[in-house]
C-alpha cells in the first residue's frame, strides 16, 4: 500500500516524506510538478517508491488505475504565491485539483489529509475555525477558503478521514526554491549575509515599525501535526496549525542576526539596538501589498487541542535559531 504525498518535492511535502521515512515508511508515491527542476534536491535524501507528475497522477487517478493501492493521501501540493494574479490558474490548481483528489479518496475510502491556510482569515482578528471569522484578501486565500467550504459540506457523509490543516506562517529547511514566497526568516538571513542588514516594513494597522505580528511555525512542527492525525483516522475536520502565539517581525530579525552573531563570537542585541546600529532597516510597503496584508495572525488552538494534539511548538527564538544554524553549515 502506498502513501501518496502531493507537492512531495516542495517545502512541507519533502519534510513530510523524510518524516515518513523515519517512521520506516518507504512505500511513497511522490507527486509534484518539476517544471522548476531545482526542487528535486529536496528529495535526494529521501526514499520513495515512485514519482509522478501531478498531471499524469490526476489522469491515472481518474482512469481508476490505483484502485486498492493507497493507504492515505497527504495533499500538500498547491500554488502558494499570494501575489499570483491569474485566478483561473489558481482555482484550477488549488481548488478543482483538490476536489478531484477528495472525490477519489471518498469513493475509495482512503484517508485524505490536506494543507489549508491561515490566509482564509484575511484581515480578521479572530483565528478560530468558523465561517464567521473568514474573509480572504487574495485569490490564493480564496482558493483555500472555497475548498474548506466544500470539505465542510462533505464531512457529515464522509466514508474516510478528511482532515484539513490551516498552516500559519511556516518557515524552515527545504524552502529555498520558493523565491519571493519563502519565509521571512529565510529572506532575513539572505539579506543579512549579503548586505549586513535586514529590511522590514514600517508600521501599519496600529503597529510600530517591524512590530506587525504573525504566528510563525517551524516546518517540522507542522509535519508532526500531520503525522499525529494520520495515525488518528477517526478524527476529521479543519484545524489550525500554528503555535498559538503571535511574534513580531522584529523578533524574527533579531533571532536571525543574533544566531549569526553567536556563530561569530559576538553578543546578542535587542531589536531596538539592532535598529539603532542599522542592522534592521524599515522600508515602505510595496504598493501591491496595500490592503492585502495580514498585520496580525495567531492560531486559536482550542479545536486542535480538543482533537487530541498535545505537542509543543517552537518559539521564534528556538525555531529560527535552529534554522539559521542549519543555513550556516557549509
What is the Cα–Cα distance from 93 to 181, expressed in whole angstroms? 17
Q: Left if phi > 0, otherwise alpha if psi is -120 to 50, otherwise beta: which for 267? A: beta
Catalytic residue selected from 51, 89, 178, 292: 178
- Confirm whether 178 is a catalytic residue: yes
CB within 8 Å of 3: residues ≥ 6 apart: 20, 25, 27, 28, 29, 70, 71, 72, 74
CB atoms within 10 A of CB 63: 8
| Ordered alpha helix ranges (H), 162-314 | 184-195, 219-230, 249-263, 271-276, 302-306
CB within 8 Å of 76: residues ≥ 6 apart: 5, 6, 7, 8, 10, 12, 13, 16, 114, 115
- Do residues 18 and 45 lie in contact, with contact meaning Cβ atoms separated by under 8 Å? yes
Catalytic residue selected from 3, 97, 121, 140: 140
Instruction: Identify which of 166, 119, 170 has the alpha carbon closest to the alpha carbon of residue 320.
Output: 170
Catalytic residues: 140, 178
Amino acid at each position: 500500500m502506498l502513501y501518496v504525498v502531493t507537492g512531495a518535492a516542495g517545502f512541507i511535502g519533502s519534510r513530510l516524506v523524510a518524516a515518513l521515512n523515519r517512521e520506516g515508511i518507504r512505500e511513497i508515491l511522490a507527486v509534484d510538478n518539476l517544471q522548476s527542476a531545482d526542487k528535486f534536491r529536496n528529495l535526494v535524501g529521501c526514499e520513495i517508491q515512485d514519482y509522478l507528475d501531478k498531471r499524469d497522477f490526476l489522469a491515472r487517478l481518474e482512469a481508476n488505475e490505483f484502485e486498492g493501492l493507497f493507504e492515505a493521501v497527504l495533499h500538500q501540493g498547491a500554488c502558494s504565491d499570494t501575489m499570483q494574479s491569474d485566478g483561473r490558474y489558481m482555482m484550477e490548481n488549488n481548488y478543482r485539483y483538490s476536489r478531484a483528489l477528495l472525490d477519489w479518496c471518498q469513493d475509495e475510502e482512503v484517508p485524505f489529509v490536506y494543507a489549508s491556510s491561515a490566509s482564509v482569515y484575511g484581515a480578521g482578528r479572530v483565528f478560530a475555525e468558523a465561517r464567521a471569522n473568514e474573509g480572504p484578501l487574495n485569490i490564493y486565500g480564496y482558493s483555500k477558503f472555497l475548498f474548506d467550504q466544500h470539505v465542510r459540506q462533505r464531512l457529515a457523509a464522509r466514508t474516510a478521514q478528511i482532515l484539513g490543516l490551516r498552516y500559519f506562517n511556516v518557515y524552515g529547511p527545504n524552502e529555498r526554491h520558493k523565491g519571493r514566497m519563502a519565509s521571512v526568516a529565510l529572506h532575513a538571513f539572505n539579506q543579512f549575509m549579503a548586505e549586513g542588514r535586514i529590511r522590514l516594513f514600517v508600521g501599519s494597522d496600529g503597529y510600530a515599525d517591524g512590530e506587525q505580528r504573525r504566528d510563525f511555525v517551524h516546518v517540522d512542527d507542522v509535519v508532526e501535526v500531520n503525522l499525529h492525525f494520520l495515525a488518528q483516522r477517526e478524527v476529521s475536520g479543519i484545524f489550525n496549525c500554528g503555535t498559538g502565539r503571535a511574534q513580531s517581525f522584529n523578533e524574527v530579525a533579531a533571532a536571525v542576526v543574533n544566531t549569526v552573531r553567536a556563530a561569530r563570537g559576538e553578543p546578542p542585541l535587542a531589536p531596538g539596538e539592532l535598529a539603532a546600529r542599522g542592522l534592521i532597516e524599515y522600508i515602505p510597503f510595496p504598493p501591491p501589498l496595500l490592503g492585502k496584508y495580514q498585520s496580525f495572525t495567531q492560531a486559536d488552538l482550542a479545536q486542535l487541542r480538543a482533537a487530541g494534539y498535545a505537542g509543543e511548538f517552537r518559539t521564534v527564538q528556538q525555531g529560527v535559531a535552529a534554522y539559521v544554524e542549519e543555513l550556516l553549515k557549509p
